[in-house]
């Protein structure tokens, strides 16, 4: 009897073109794949980034990671809580906080070096 072949879960692309979310999400995906995370985990994390970008764009919030604040992310989490069961915010943000802090710090350092203020 032939066994069913499972397709490899694919990462999700950010469709928001303004800001740097799409570029950074590709970098984020590469870092997840380089860490040898499972394709399913990479897919879940990239779905979260895409959903965050869509949320930010729909509400006119910053689309550059360096401009995101805790309040922006809390608004996103509150939106998830209002629409989904309680366990989902934890899954939706898995891995994001560390990556966003890293990218925000890197982006701010690059801006400081360009402006000559750092």
Range in 57-61, 87-91, 100-104 the model is least confident about: 87-91
The average confidence (pLDDT) of the chain is 78
Range in 3-7, 53-57, 83-87, 90-94 the model is least confident about: 90-94
Angstrom distance (rounded) from CA 45 to CA 18: 20
CA end-to-end span of the chain, whole Å?
65
pLDDT in tens, 74-100: 898 888 888 876 555 555 565 566 656
- How is the chain split into domains, by residue range? 21-115
10 in the Ramachandran plot: left (φ > 0), alpha (ψ -120 to 50) or beta? beta
- 93 or 11, greater pLDDT: 11
DSSP output for 10-79: PP------SSSHHHHHHHHHHHHHHTT--HHHHHHHHHHHHHHHHHHHHTT---SGGG--HHHHHHHHHH
- Please give the model's pTM, rounded to 2 decimal places: 0.67
């Amino acid at each position: 009897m032939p066994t069913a072949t499972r397709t490899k879960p694919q990462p999700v692309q950010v469709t928001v073109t303004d800001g740097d979310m799409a570029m950074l999400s590709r970098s984020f995906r590469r870092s997840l794949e380089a860490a040898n995370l499972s394709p399913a985990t990479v897919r879940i994390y990239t779905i979260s980034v895409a959903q965050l970008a869509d949320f930010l764009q729909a509400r006119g919030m910053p689309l550059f990671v360096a401009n995101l604040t805790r309040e922006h992310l809390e608004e996103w989490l509150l939106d998830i809580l209002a629409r989904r069961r309680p366990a989902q915010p934890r899954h939706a943000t898995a891995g994001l906080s560390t990556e966003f802090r890293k990218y925000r710090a890197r982006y701010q350092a690059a801006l400081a070096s360009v402006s000559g203020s750092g």
